[in-house]
Amino acid sequence: MNAEETARDIESMKIRGAGRIARAGVEAMKHHALSYKGSDLDGFQKEMQEARDVVVNSRPTAISLWNGLQSALKGLEKVTDVEEGKKLVSSNADLFVRDSLQAMDRIGQMGSRRISDGDTVLTHCNSHAAISVIKTAHAQGKRIKVYATESRPWRQGILTVNELAKEGIDVTLIIDGAVRSVMRKVNIVLVGADTITSSGVLINKIGTSQIALAAQEARVPFLVCSETYKFSPKTLFGDLVHIEERDAGEIVKEGEIPSSVKVFNPVFDATPPEYIDTIVTEIGLIPPFAAYEVIVKKLGSDYVFDNME
Ligand code: RUB
């Protein structure tokens, strides 16, 4: 798919989840580069930047998309002809997708060490990084139970329970409001991430911060499963994370409530680092307060400074 089609599918949530939108965005860059006709290098570089902007603006909150697109175009300003540029974007994209899938597997392996036989896990929305941990623990023969939240208004929890049930995992769907009621039966909470700021704040599906509160009250460990490309270099330079607000029609049908009633539909929220026990990444389990180190060391100071705009 080209950049415009990919952006449309991300915006309409046909493609969703921080990891998947990043991989789809990167694939779109590859497609866009390979289908460029002509030999004008300036034109090629300009078109790639424009394609990047179209995709990056399709969903504003997940830094994974921005980081992915930056990786796909890394070094493009240094190429000497269009063919070289095409090859570069194509191999950057392949590398990102490969590393992203590998990271998810590693997160599964490492996170599963924190799950014991007989544990009950609670997860929110539909995070493939969190699901990777659950599936890995199950594959290791651990008998686990899972509570999965419905995640209004898009009900991504339906995807999660279908995916886990297919693996033969004992899974129970709950409405979002039932989290505190079930928390006393839960041993560990696993959620994904759209963005992690340099100060260790987690931005994830709306409702995540309430789950963290309930977990802390019940003294249940709250773990975030996140590839390092979900850490935000932008926040290091003072950018605030923009929390996407979506249409009222996702919550109420036309005519269901008086037109004088306002509807507020933020789709992500912020969980402070004090509520997070650890972040499971592909480079290890790190405390949220080490987010700054991850951004600088893993993404690299060159990367950070080159990509500030
Ligand atoms: C999905 C969501 C997920 C993260 C991580 O929100 O908040 O927890 O994106 O997902 P939406 P993953 O459905 O609005 O995209 O671990 O799969 O990257």
Q: SS3 for 232-300, per residue?
A: CHHHHCCCCCCCCECCHHHCCCCCCCCCCCCCCCECEEEECHHHCCEEEECCEEECHHHHHHHHHHHHC
Number of folded domains that form the chain: 2
Type of residue at 225: C
CA of 20 relative to ligand 1 center, distance in Å: 8
If asked whether residues 145 and 174 sit together in one domain, one would say yes
Where in the sequence is the domain holding 27, given as residue range(s)?
Answer: 3-105
pLDDT tens-digit series, residues 27-66: 999 999 999 999 999 999 999 999 999 999 999 999 999 9
Closest Cα to atom 10, ligand 1: which residue?
127
Last-in-domain residue among 58, 87, 105: 105
> Which residue bears the tokens 């974007």?
89
CA of 241 to the centre of ligand 1 (A): 15
Query: Would the pTM of this model clear 0.85, i.e. be above it?
Result: yes
Two structure tokens written together for 101: 């899938």
Note if 117 is an active site residue. no
Question: What's the CATH number where 120 sits?
Answer: 3.40.50.10470
Tell me, yes or no, whether 225 and 83 share the same domain: no
pLDDT(212) > 70: yes
Ligand 1 midpoint to CA 125 (Å): 7
The verdict on whether 225 is a catalytic residue reads: no
From the candidates 125, 176, 239, 269, give the one annotated as an active-site residue. Answer: 125
81 with 208, same domain: the answer is: no
Q: Closest ligand 1 atom, CA of 205?
A: 7
Residues with CB under 6 A from ligand 1: 16-19, 125, 127-129, 154, 156, 192-194, 204-205, 267
Of 105, 134, 149, the last residue of a domain is: 105
In this structure, the answer to whether residues 267 and 199 fall within a common structural domain is: yes
Q: Quick one: 118 and 93 in the same domain?
A: no
Of 105, 131, 164, which one is at a domain's C-terminal end?
Answer: 105
Q: Name the residue with the closest Cα to ligand 1, atom 12.
A: 127
pLDDT in the model for residue 32: 96
The CATH number of the domain holding residue 19 is: 1.20.120.420
Task: Let me know whether 266 and 284 are in one domain.
Answer: yes
Write down the pLDDT at residue 1: 87
The verdict on 93 and 117 lying in the same domain is: no
Please, which pLDDT band fits residue 298 given cuts at 50, 70 and 90?
confident
pLDDT at 237 > cutoff 90 = no
